[in-house]
Amino acid sequence: RKEVEQDPGPFNVPEGATVAFNCTYSNSASQSFFWYRQDCRKEPKLLMSVYSSGNEDGRFTAQLNRASQYISLLIRDSKLSDSATYLCVVSLGNTGKLIFGQGTTLQVKP
């Protein structure tokens, strides 16, 4: 089993749609959780950290369920510029080591 699993997609949605990505992780000692965004042929960039209470940043909402070892990202009112690959990232304990999921590709169409 992969340490961090994501549905690779691609997710093809129209502009304005709401789309949700899910991610599961296997190590219960994981302490920090993130969503990164990677545009085609570019480096990954932090989209948002994920907190136990859930957090929102504009159109983006992240949720964490430690009991189920599950992380989600919700994007509302999708824009063309949201088209990218979204990487679920988990840190292992206090090692500082980050484990990246394979990414979920989103394509927003006009």
Partner 1 sequence: SAVISQKPSRDICQRGTSLTIQCQVDSQVTMMFWYRQQPGQSLTLIATANQGSEATYESGFVIDKFPISRPNLTFSTLTVSNMSPEDSSIYLCSVEVLGSGANVLTFGAGSRLTVL
Q: Which candidate, 1, 83, 71, places its Cα nearest to that of 33?
A: 71
Phi-psi region of 58 (alpha: psi -120 to 50; beta: other; left: phi over 0): left
Closest distance of CB 102 from partner 1, Å: 5
- If the CB atoms of residues 40 and 67 are measured against partner 1, the closer one turns out to be 40
The torsion angles phi and psi of 82, rounded to 5 degrees, stand at: -80, -10
Interaction of residue 42 with partner 1, rule CB under 8 A? yes
Q: Which residue in the set 16, 45, 79, 109 belongs to the binding site for partner 1 (CB under 8 A)?
A: 45
Interaction of residue 66 with partner 1, rule CB under 8 A? no
* Dist CA 5 CA 22 (whole Å): 9
Where do contacts with partner 1 occur on this chain (CB under 8 A)?
32, 34, 41-46, 49, 87, 91, 96-98, 100-103
